[in-house]
Amino acid sequence: MNAQRSDDDEVLARAWRGVGHLTLNRPRAINAVDVGMIRRIAIALDRWEHDSDVDLVLLDGAGDRGFCAGGDVRALYESVVAGRTDEVHTFFLEEYALNHRIATYPKPIVAIADGVTMGGGIGLAGHARIRIVTERSQLAMPETRIGFTPDVGGSWLLGRAPGRVGEYLGLTGATMDAADALYAGFADHLVPVAHLSALEEALQYRADPSSPTELVLLFDESPERSNLETWRLWIDDAFSADDLDGILHRLRQRWEPEAHATADLLEASAPTAVTVTLEAVRRARALPSLRAALAQEYGLVMWFATTQPDLAEGIRAQLVDKDRSPSWSPAHRADLPPGRVAEAFAYEPSPALW
């Protein structure tokens, strides 16, 4: 996909003073990643794993707008619409392999999720050993907005958020600020933008204390109270209901305006996407590993990409024509076939993930 661009230009990989530094370098696209960029990152990690001169990896994004807005959804749209399922398989297979590689990498990976960090950006930053946000961070798993479901290990993180916060974030695609990301378990430290250069220098020069975590703590600040923490009462009450109808009923019974706004949002969302996502987050909560969650997600995303019209329609409405008026299929929850969720989780893509 997008073969006209140079991978070497769009992922900058350099090593200096013990730090392997990877920078996503598509600032005009808020560093959205395509398969070429994924491969470039994987090659650098392979090279540095056995390089005794590299002790840790720093992962960040170019520009002031964000670390990574996600995967290259336009390229995905073109592949889906054209029926090039081999390209769709390749993208997700290699992206998920990289997500798992980051989570299990033997050397510390320090990810700086500054600015917009969504979807595929969470897959890169959210599984690093040390995850940093800033005062301008905006994190989200917004896949349901395009008739899709959280992936890149997002269901694993959502399933481990406190209470029913994971269901809330997964179904709504709500954006988290730094305080929310820390509270929900998507980040570990808040470092102000003004201190990022000093942090990078400290990682390179290994001033005492010497471990990456201890160095980050020198620049860490405490955030304000998270909105998610403030809203936990109504979130837990509503999103503990058995199904989407129950969630909507409880949201409508609440007095909080945020609960009613959430109900309005869910009512307008793709019925298939939110119903499957609710089950995905709950199943991920019981899975034994990120690897298992990625395998579950892979089946779901290929089911959406190869059998459901909502994914292409959602991307069209949000990013291609930008009319913000998707025609979901079906348009109403009452029209969902009874076995739709079971069908999604029974789908077995070929080739398999692992």
Q: What is the pLDDT of residues 2-22, one digit of tens each?
A: 334 445 699 999 999 999 999
Quick check: is 159 catalytic? Answer: no
Look at residue 206 in the predicted model and tell me its pLDDT.
73
What sign for the dihedral angle of Cα 123, 126, 132, 135?
positive
pLDDT exceeds cutoff 60 at 322: yes
- Of 72, 114, 143, 167, the active-site residue reads 143
Look at residue 2 in the predicted model and tell me its pLDDT.
39
Alpha carbons 297 and 303: distance in angstroms, whole number: 10
Look at residue 352 in the predicted model and tell me its pLDDT.
84
Domains of the chain are 7-346 (3.90.226.10)
CA-based diameter of the chain, in Å?
62
Alpha carbons 184 and 176: distance in angstroms, whole number: 9
Q: Could you tell me which of 109, 13, 102 has the C-alpha nearest to residue 56?
A: 109
- Of 151, 167, 188, 310, the active-site residue reads 151
pLDDT exceeds cutoff 50 at 1: no
48-77, pLDDT tens digit by residue? 999 999 999 999 999 999 999 999 999 999
- Of 20, 61, 115, 120, the active-site residue reads 120
pLDDT exceeds cutoff 80 at 301: yes
Look at residue 208 in the predicted model and tell me its pLDDT.
60
CA distances from 5 to 9, 13, 29, 33, 93 (A): 8, 16, 13, 12, 21
Angle, helix 271-285 to helix 290-307, in steps of 10 degrees:
160
CB 183 within 8 A of CB 228: yes
Look at residue 198 in the predicted model and tell me its pLDDT.
95
Q: Over pLDDT 90: what percentage of the chain?
A: 92
Backbone angles phi, psi at 21, to 5 degrees: -110, 120
Quick check: is 51 catalytic? Answer: no
Look at residue 8 in the predicted model and tell me its pLDDT.
64
Q: Which residues of 240-251 are buried (b: 16+ CB within 10 A; e: fewer)?
A: ebeebeebbebb
Look at residue 5 in the predicted model and tell me its pLDDT.
46
SS3 188: coil
186-212, pLDDT tens digit by residue? 999 999 999 999 999 999 987 565 789
- Of 71, 119, 159, 173, the active-site residue reads 71
DSSP category for residue 144: G
Residue with tokens 């006209």: 4
Look at residue 339 in the predicted model and tell me its pLDDT.
93
Residues 6+ apart with CB under 8 A from 294: 96, 99, 100, 151, 152, 153, 156, 353
Look at residue 107 in the predicted model and tell me its pLDDT.
97
Quick check: is 143 catalytic? Answer: yes
Q: Could you tell me which of 43, 55, 59, 60 has the C-alpha nearest to residue 107?
A: 55
